[in-house]
């Protein structure tokens, strides 16, 4: 059993520990029930619960919420549109958000999926200076998707070791009609 200051009072019967806690006007709280014998502490349980609640609120307050922003492309995107969307991606990544890149094929674009693959690979390659591909580009039906996340910040220093950048994710364009794999 522990007293209010954390000093060990020794092993004693539960009734005697409860009597000591009652004399001090405090509660007897079981701290680690799985220990042999179980460890109890004399404390003000109401104050303890209040302080724990304050700690939880502070932890939630300091917690960073990561949003996922989505940027949509088409296979026939113009260079100015592409540059504008690249600036948006850079701003979102700088704000600490993740960016979901989606390229939707429309009509005859489905027959030339390699054009969309080239656009997404170009975006990922351009963003590799400030972002990593958390999910590499992949085709799901009529949509080609990828998820970019901010590059992790190195804490402290590198410790003398150099870190190599992760390999650039690329997907192969789908085979044409005359080509087989």
120 and 72, same domain (yes or no): yes
Q: What is the pLDDT of residue 90?
A: 92
Supply the pLDDT for residue 70.
Answer: 92
Residue 13's Cβ-count burial label (10 Å; 0-12, 13-18, 19+) is exposed
- Per the domain annotation, does 87 fall within a domain? yes
**Residue 64 pLDDT:** 76
In a domain, 32, yes or no: yes
Residue 27's CB is within 10 A of a number of other CB atoms, namely 17
Question: Which tens digit of pLDDT belongs to each residue from 47-98?
Answer: 989 999 999 999 888 877 778 899 998 888 888 999 999 999 999 999 889 9
Q: What is the pLDDT of residue 75?
A: 85
In this prediction, residue 33 carries a pLDDT of 84
Statement to judge: residues 53 and 98 lie in one domain: no
Q: Which residue numbers in the chain have pLDDT < 70?
A: 155-181
Query: What's the domain count of the chain?
Result: 2
Same structural domain, 26 and 83: no
Same domain, 73 and 108: yes
**Residue 172 covered by a domain:** no
The answer to whether residue 181 sits within a structural domain is no
pLDDT at 86: 92
In a domain, 48, yes or no: yes
CATH of the domain at 143: 3.30.110.10
What is the per-residue pLDDT for 37? 84
Q: Domain check: are 123 and 100 in the same one? A: yes
Quick one: 106 and 140 in the same domain? yes
pLDDT of residue 170: 63
Residue 157 belongs to a domain: no
Angle at 135 between CA 118 and CA 89, to 5 degrees: 65
- Structural domain boundaries, residue 28: 14-62
Task: Indicate whether 120 belongs to any domain.
Answer: yes
Q: Residue 94 and residue 51: Cα distance in Å, rounded? A: 36
Asked whether residue 160 is assigned to any structural domain, the reply reads: no
One domain, residues 21 and 51? yes
Alpha helix (H) residue ranges in 12-143: 14-24, 45-62, 79-94, 113-127
């Amino acid at each position: 059993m522990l007293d209010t200051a954390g000093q060990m009072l020794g092993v004693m019967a539960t009734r005697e520990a409860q009597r000591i806690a009652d004399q001090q006007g405090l509660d007897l709280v079981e701290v680690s029930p799985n220990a042999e014998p179980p460890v109890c502490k004399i404390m003000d349980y109401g104050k303890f619960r209040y302080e724990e609640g304050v700690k939880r609120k502070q932890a939630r307050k300091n917690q960073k919420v990561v949003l996922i922003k989505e940027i949509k492309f088409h296979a026939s995107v113009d260079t100015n549109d592409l540059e504008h969307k690249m600036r948006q991606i850079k701003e979102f990544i700088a704000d600490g958000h993740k960016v979901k890149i989606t390229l939707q094929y429309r009509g005859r674009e489905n027959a030339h999926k390699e054009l969309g693959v080239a656009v997404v690979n170009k975006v990922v390659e351009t963003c590799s200076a400030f972002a990593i591909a958390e999910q590499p580009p992949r085709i799901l039906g009529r949509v080609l998707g990828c998820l970019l996340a901010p590059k992790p910040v190195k804490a402290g220093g590198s410790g003398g070791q150099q870190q190599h950048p992760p390999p650039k994710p690329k997907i192969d364009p789908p085979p044409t009609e005359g080509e087989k794999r």
